[in-house]
Structures are given as structure tokens and as C-alpha cells.
């Protein structure tokens, strides 16, 4: 079994020593016989290169020094961030009032059930079908599932769960509700896209996780939940997050279960990810919850201490996580930031379904501005912006009531400088309706692939703001621009209409 510094572990796993192989490399931090390489001028986002066992770090250095390589890195492991507790049948305090540490789901369900939104659960898979030895979880019988699920561990189209973690996370998000049995899910009207990147031990490589993120973005997911984490930064992981964000996907990730002052990856990539820590039923931060720079929100994660009350975990249906018998289902309370991340991912889906906010930046703003402030006033390193409030997020006033129409016109630009030809793209963003342009509006937008940068522009009398991407020597690629927000007279408006556009340059 591999141990990751940021990973939660089964309660029965005990202490796992960190061992060294004969070369002196730490066994278990990364895949022993392969590295990730991003070659320049390669249409593939990255490639896996096989190397001799024990030579990973040396080969990373060797490839990093090559002129045809953008970056090379070990293929690190990430871990599911949870701890299973004893089997119990009890109330879901996490969905109740703020007085009991809940996120006000009863009120929020009157406004939205998440219908029309697809959430990718990138995890150990989901018990979503009856296939070979696998059995569908009874409480997922009425849950909608996308046809685009995929298993990156076994390389097939049946991402079934063989660990139990992914099924529990999926239940928090969209377990069948109002069916007279079991427990409830948050956004039970949503569609789940099961993507398996973690194996039966809850362990997965960064390469598989990055592939899962890109797959979800390409197959229409509007929200991605990442209830997993690793201890190391990674270019391949960051690139995948930027890719999905650039396609308008809201990404939510677990902060980590070490109780440390540093977030796990991918949660630490704050430009693209909503990072979520864990609270207990008394609204205090769980001791195990990571905190610090980049922490956005808190959500119920549960706790397990001597003298703790019955039902202190987050209760959902999954199969027995101790025996991993995929047909032995029960209601198990788990604890961890995995559970917290799932709460926020599904509230994000509710918000998108209601139309309160649609772009990733708007969803983040809606959740942050409506969260119950905990700890120090405003943002703080322990609680971020506070405990997510589903009902208030669905009533976020700015995005719900103030919108402005925008349109985008993309034009490629070229400039010769000696033997080099520089390429960039100009975005002309029109604010307002035809014939009624809005002047002095501040447009904020983001470029992605092959550039990755943000920019602002102010509209003139014609209502047009001009924003340009960074210049690059490589002309080929698809440039994507997204309008994130428009500020008029100090008020932030939600852009509607043509908010994302792309142009391909051969």
C-alpha cells in the first residue's frame, strides 16, 4: 500500500512505513518505472515515458534539460481523502440548519434539485450499474448517469467502484432522494459522470487524474469533484485544471486530511479550483482539515473523537469499505475533506441549474459571498470564506438579478521579428445590446490554450473592450477566450450571450 502525506486512510489501515528501494528513491511517492513528459510542438497534452525502475529522478533531470521538452516530472500518486467509520443509521446533520452545522439543504431543495447539470465524480468509480461482479447501489437506482463514464485504471468504459469511496462521494452529490428508503443526496436531479482514476486501494497516478479531468471537460461536465489529493505540485495536473477551467468547468477539490498549513494538490491550484476544508457539527474546523493559502470554503466533513456523539460522520450508502464486498451495501458514515468537497460540488451544481451563476468565477463568487463567516472576519486561513450555505447561494442577488449581454469577436494577429513570427489573438468584446452599447464597462476575461492568462479592458463609446492574449512563437493551436465578469458603475454583472469563443490557427 502506498502512503501519501495528504491522503486520508481507512481507519483499519494502521501506520504505513515509508520504505526505500535499492537506489535510494522513496518507493510509493510516484510510479516506479515511468515519468510524465510534455514535448514541445506535440499535440498531445503529455506523454508517459517508461524508464528503468529506480531511475525516475535521474530521467526527469535528463528530459528536463532537453531542448524539445517543456517539462518532465515523476508520475506522482494521489489518494482518496476519507476515513470510514462504523456502520450506523442516523440523521444527516450535514444537510440541516446552520445551528447543527448543516448547509441548509431543506430550504435549498425548494429552489433547485440540480436538474440539467452534469457533475463528474473523478474518484474510485461509482457502484452505478449491474455488470459482471459489480452491483448498483440500491440508493442510486433513480440517479441519472452520463453515458460518458470511463475507467482510466482498467482502460474500459465501466468505471465501477471497487473501493467504496467514490460511491459514498457520489451519494452525497446525487443519491436518489424522496424514494422512501435510505438517505438523501444534495443535487438529486443532476447527472453524474463516473470517472475512475483511483484503484481499489484509493490510489491513483497524476497522469490518470489529469486524463480524467480533460475527459470530463471534453464530455460536457459542468462541475468536477476531486475528493482526492497528493503532496506534490505537478505541471501535468495544473495544465489539466487550466484546460477544464478554460472550457467553463467549475472544479472543486478536497483540502487534505493532514491538519497541515498547506493544501494538497490539486486543491492548492487556487486559480482554477475551489478548495474545501472540513467542519464538525459544531461548525468548528476539523482537526484533520488542511488549511492556509488558497482555502476557499468549509463544508461538513465530520469527526471521530473519544466521546463523540452518534452520527458524527457523513452518512451515505456504499458497500462495506473494510471487506470491499461490492454487493454488501450499508449506510456508512465517513469523515474527511473528501466529503466536504462533495458537498460544495453539488451546491455548485444547484447554483448552475438555477442560473444564479454559470461561469467558474461566478460560481466561486456566489459561494464565497454567501458563506456563513466563521473565525476571523472575512477570509481567514482556517475557514476560508466560511461554511457553504446552499440556500443563500441559490439566492445570490448579483448574478440572479443583474445580467448584461456580451458578444466576442476573435481575430488572429501576427508580427515578424527577424526570423521569428509572433502570434496572438485579439478579442473584441461588445457589451450591451445592438444599438445600445455600454461605455466605461470593465470586462474581465481569461485566455486558455495555448496561452494561459487573464486580462481586463474598458469599453469605449462603441461598447467594445479589446483584450489580447500573450504573444507566442508557436502559431498553431486553438485559442479560447471567456468573459468572466463585467463591472458597470461598481456593480459586477453576470455576462450572458456569447461568453466563450475559440479560434484555431493552423
Catalytically active residues are: 123, 165, 338
Helix, coil or strand: residue 292: coil
Question: Any idea what DSSP says for residue 25?
Answer: P
What is the H or E stretch that residue 155 is in? none
CB 463, CB 454: distance < 8 Å: no
Query: 180: phi > 0 → left, psi -120 to 50 → alpha, else beta; which?
Result: left
Q: What is the DSSP string of 223-270?
A: EEEE-EEBSS--HHHHHHHHHHHHTT-EEEEE--SS--SSPPBTTT-T
Bond from prior residue into 450 cis (ω within 30 degrees of 0)? yes
* CA 311 to each of CA 56, 93, 283, 292, 316: distance values in angstroms, whole numbers, following the listed order: 45, 8, 15, 28, 11
d(CA 47, CA 36): 6
Of the candidates 132, 137, 127, the residue with the CA atom closest to the CA atom of residue 194: 127
CB 236, CB 66: distance < 8 Å: no
Per DSSP, helices labelled H in 355-406 are 360-370, 390-394, 397-401
d(CA 472, CA 448): 13
Amino acid at each position: 500500500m502506498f502512503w501519501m502525506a495528504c491522503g486520508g486512510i481507512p481507519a483499519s489501515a494502521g501506520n504505513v512505513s515509508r520504505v526505500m528501494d535499492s537506489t535510494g528513491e522513496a518507493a510509493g511517492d510516484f510510479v516506479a518505472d515511468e515519468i510524465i513528459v510534455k514535448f514541445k510542438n506535440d499535440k498531445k497534452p503529455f506523454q508517459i515515458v517508461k524508464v528503468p525502475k529506480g531511475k525516475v529522478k535521474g530521467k526527469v533531470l535528463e528530459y528536463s534539460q532537453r531542448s524539445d521538452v517543456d517539462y518532465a516530472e515523476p508520475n506522482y500518486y494521489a489518494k482518496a481523502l476519507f476515513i470510514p467509520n462504523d456502520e450506523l443509521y442516523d440523521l444527516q446533520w450535514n444537510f440541516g440548519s446552520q445551528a447543527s452545522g448543516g448547509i441548509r439543504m431543506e430550504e435549498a431543495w425548494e429552489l433547485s434539485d440540480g436538474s440539467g447539470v452534469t457533475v463528474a465524480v473523478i474518484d474510485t468509480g461509482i457502484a452505478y450499474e449491474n455488470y459482471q461482479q459489480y452491483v448498483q447501489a440500491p440508493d442510486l437506482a433513480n440517479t441519472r448517469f452520463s453515458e460518458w463514464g470511463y475507467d482510466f485504471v482498467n482502460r474500459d468504459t465501466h468505471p465501477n467502484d471497487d473501493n467504496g469511496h467514490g460511491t459514498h462521494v457520489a451519494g452525497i452529490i446525487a443519491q436518489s432522494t424522496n424514494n422512501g428508503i435510505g438517505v438523501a443526496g444534495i443535487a438529486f436531479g443532476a447527472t453524474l459522470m463516473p470517472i475512475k482514476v483511483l484503484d481499489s486501494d484509493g490510489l491513483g497516478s497524476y497522469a490518470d487524474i489529469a486524463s480524467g479531468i480533460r475527459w470530463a471537460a471534453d464530455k460536457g461536465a459542468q462541475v468536477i469533484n476531486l475528493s482526492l489529493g497528493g503532496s506534490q505540485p505537478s505541471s501535468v495536473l495544473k495544465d489539466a485544471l487550466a484546460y477544464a477551467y478554460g472550457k467553463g468547468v467549475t472544479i472543486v477539490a478536497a483540502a487534505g486530511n493532514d491538519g497541515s498549513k498547506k493544501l494538497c494538490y490539486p486543491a492548492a491550484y487556487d486559480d482554477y479550483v475551489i478548495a474545501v476544508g472540513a467542519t464538525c457539527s459544531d461548525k468548528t474546523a476539523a482537526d484533520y482539515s488542511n488549511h492556509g493559502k488558497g482555502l476557499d470554503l468549509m463544508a461538513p466533513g465530520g469527526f471521530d473523537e473519544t466521546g463523540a456523539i452518534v452520527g458524527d460522520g457523513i452518512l451515505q450508502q456504499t458497500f462495506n469499505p473494510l471487506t470491499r464486498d461490492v454487493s454488501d451495501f450499508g449506510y456508512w458514515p465517513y469523515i474527511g475533506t473528501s466529503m466536504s468537497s462533495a458537498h460544495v460540488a453539488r451546491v455548485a451544481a444547484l447554483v448552475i441549474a438555477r442560473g444564479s451563476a454559470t461561469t467558474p468565477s461566478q460560481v466561486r463568487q456566489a459561494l464565497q459571498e454567501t458563506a456563513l463567516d466563521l473565525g476571523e472576519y472575512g477570509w481567514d486561513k482556517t475557514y476560508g470564506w466560511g461554511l457553504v450555505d446552499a440556500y443563500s447561494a441559490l439566492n445570490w442577488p448579483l448574478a440572479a438579478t443583474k445580467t448584461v449581454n456580451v458578444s466576442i469577436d476573435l481575430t488572429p494577429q501576427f508580427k515578424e521579428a527577424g526570423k521569428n513570427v509572433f502570434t496572438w489573438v485579439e478579442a473584441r468584446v461588445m457589451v450591451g445590446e445592438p444599438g445600445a452599447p455600454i461605455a466605461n464597462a470593465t470586462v474581465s476575461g481569461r485566455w486558455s490554450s495555448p496561452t494561459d492568462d487573464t486580462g481586463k479592458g474598458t469599453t469605449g463609446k462603441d461598447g467594445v473592450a479589446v483584450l489580447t492574449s500573450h504573444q507566442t512563437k508557436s502559431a498553431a493551436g486553438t485559442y479560447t477566450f471567456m468573459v468572466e465578469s463585467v463591472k458597470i458603475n461598481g456593480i459586477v454583472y453576470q455576462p450572458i450571450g456569447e461568453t466563450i469563443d475559440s479560434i484555431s490557427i493552423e
